[in-house]
Amino acid sequence: MPETTTTLSPRALLERWDAQQAAYVAHRESRFQAMLDVLRLHLPARFHALDLACGPGSLTDRILRAFPGARVTAVDYDPVLLRIAGEALGEHGQRVTVVDTDLVRPDWAAPLAGEKIDAVVSSTALHWLSPLQLLQVYTALADLMPAGAVFLNADHLRYAPQQTALKALSERHDAEVRRAAFEAGSDTWDEWFALATAQPGMAPLVIERELRFAERPPQPLAPLHFHLSALRTAGFTEAGTVWQYLDDHVVFARR
Ligand SMILES: C[S@@+](CC[C@H](N)C(=O)[O-])C[C@H]1O[C@@H](n2cnc3c(N)ncnc32)[C@H](O)[C@@H]1O
């Protein structure tokens, strides 16, 4: 008997992505809420945000729902996730633009030159960049963002090996959260990808995805102090943390 795959709408895939990601990020909604609070308190009602490595669109969707006057440019390099984001976010009409962008390319920001960008956000993604690539991205952002614009990055910024107790606490907590989420029925990362890539029309995008990410091994992880120093070095006026749970942080910077 051939295996059958459930056909899901892009919105249903996004919802299952959210449940899957919550297994790996303990307080993901609280982290998003902290980012939305900063945007609400810092920006005027109408603003343009750039979502770096948007995946299927979780953070972009939350910004567009929370702020009727917002517009978001959402960028990613994974053709499967870009397809889902483009379709799942379609209900927001012209308030969202989904763009195929490789953040590792030195000229990734060139198409955005001349755009007024009030906020740059990212979640669970910039750990894919090496420390050098991060500094390059922050430098490109500093060129792109006008004075007063804000940057918010939510990500696990792992403790150093010598922080043995903190590291052990974080790892035990991560394991507990994953176990509870999977027992409650959420997909693992592999299960979600198997489901997404089996959807009608995805086959060529899966091949393209494999080609694009073939030579992208995990990068050395940049600690919190590296992010803060790199942002200041790149030209941001202030940098600090606005939310933290164990090793999970939301880093803030103001241009
Ligand atoms: C764990 S997902 C997070 C997606 C989304 N921000 C969220 O929080 O649900 C990491 C994302 O980083 C993207 N990514 C990795 N390397 C990238 C690159 N060089 N350029 C753009 N996006 C990249 C992946 O394609 C993926 O969508």
103 Cβ inside 6 Å of ligand 1: yes
- Separation of CA 81 and ligand 1 centre (Å): 9
Q: Is the pTM of this model over 0.75?
A: yes
The answer to whether the CB of 10 is under 6 A from ligand 1 is no
For residue 19 and ligand 1, the question of a CB distance below 6 A is answered with no
**Consecutive H or E run containing 240:** strand 238-245
pLDDT of 3 reads: 58
Q: Is the CB of 58 under 6 A from ligand 1?
A: yes
Q: What is the CATH number of domain 10-254?
A: 3.40.50.150
Alpha helix locations (H) across the chain? Answer: 10-24, 28-42, 58-66, 79-88, 131-144, 164-183, 189-197, 203-213, 224-234
pLDDT score recorded for residue 87: 98
Return the domain boundaries, the chain.
10-254
Half-sphere exposure of 15 (CA within 13 A, CB side): 5
Find all residues with CB under 8 Å of 19, minimum gap 6, and list them.
Answer: 181, 186, 187
Mean pLDDT in residue range 204-227: 94
Read off the pLDDT band of 218 (50, 70, 90): confident
What gap in Å lies between CA 65 and CA 251, rounded to an integer?
A: 22
Among 17-26, 165-174, 211-220, the least confident range = 211-220
User: pLDDT class for 215, splitting at 50, 70, 90?
Assistant: confident
pLDDT at 214: 94
Residues 31-41 have pLDDT tens digits of 999 999 999 99
User: Which pLDDT band holds residue 1 (cuts at 50, 70, 90)?
Assistant: very low
